[in-house]
Structure 1
Amino acid sequence: MDDRLLFSFPGIHFTQDNETHPYYLAQFKKFWEEFSHNSGTWIKGHFDMHSLLLYSYLLPETNFLPEIKLYLYTDLSPLLFEHTKNSINNYFLGKYTIHFVSDLKESDLIVGTVHYPEIDFQENQTLILIQIPLTQNDYEHLDEAINHLLLKDMGRSTTSRTCVVAVCRIQCE
């Protein structure tokens, strides 16, 4: 397995180094065996750490962030609307990739600043009401709804997100 991995890198010829520098490689092998023997489990942990660092460099974790489609509506000014979008994006940066959609039917999560009874959301969508400016409580409710949505997705075998449990948080006066 290790040889197949090493030979998969183009431009690196390990067999050529073995043929041109056999003494050097033999000395390195001797050094490595003695070093590994004397290091015990430390070397394995060190190797694991370097492997993880290499993996995170080649495939950053941002490539694997869950994607959420969010529909945001408000009765406030366009400036506050954009500010709210930016606030949500910034808060969840590095945790989720949030795409704001303009079509209600495409969304996984519906977020609004006021309750409109005539909003025609599907029973498999989530509605969260927030305040402006957003409070820590609002962020926590959004995070809970997204986590619920993602956990529900993990239970399904398909990759598309078409079904989400309905969870509503509506403040009544």
Structure 2
Amino acid sequence: MLNETAKPKLRIPKTKSEWVFDVIGYLALATMLAVIVFNWSVLPEQVPAHFGANGEVDRWGSKWELLIIPGIAIGMHFFMLVIGNFPKMHNYPERFNEQNAAAFYTNSRQTLNYMRNIINVLFSYCVYVVIAIALGHESSLGWPFFTILALLFVVLGYKIYKTFKIK
């Protein structure tokens, strides 16, 4: 295995799928912020602040708590974006070498990209549901939340599988 200083520094362009996921992720962040801004004045003082495992509201809180969700989403987004820009610093299995470095770097960067942007969609959906419940249009997180969450784990599992396939 190569040590940190011996790992090759490669410039690998983003794949088309990474660009597509980035567009989806940024649209999700923008939508999340727009939904909050456009609904802020009509929100009641108390909004859903926590959900149980069954997707039902189990705690209500100030509408100001709603701002925690985009705060976390934006913070995670940029943290994962920065980490994704330095695949040389990521951890790789012992079979990592100069011949397979590009494949490992691409897979690692894609994993962070896909996860980051699916999380953006998940958080955006959460904001939508919190506001919809607060306004009386919904009653629980519903199946889309669990579907997006399942997608997150399916993609993670697939990318881990792809790591094992790199020779």
Query: Which range, TM-score by smaller chain?
Result: under 0.3
**Normalized per residue, which structure has more strand?**
1
Q: TM-score, normalised by structure 1?
A: 0.26
Q: Larger helix proportion, structure 1 or 2?
A: 2
Task: Answer with 1 or 2: which has the greater Rg.
Answer: 1
Q: Which has the higher contact order (CA 8 A, sep 6+)?
A: 2
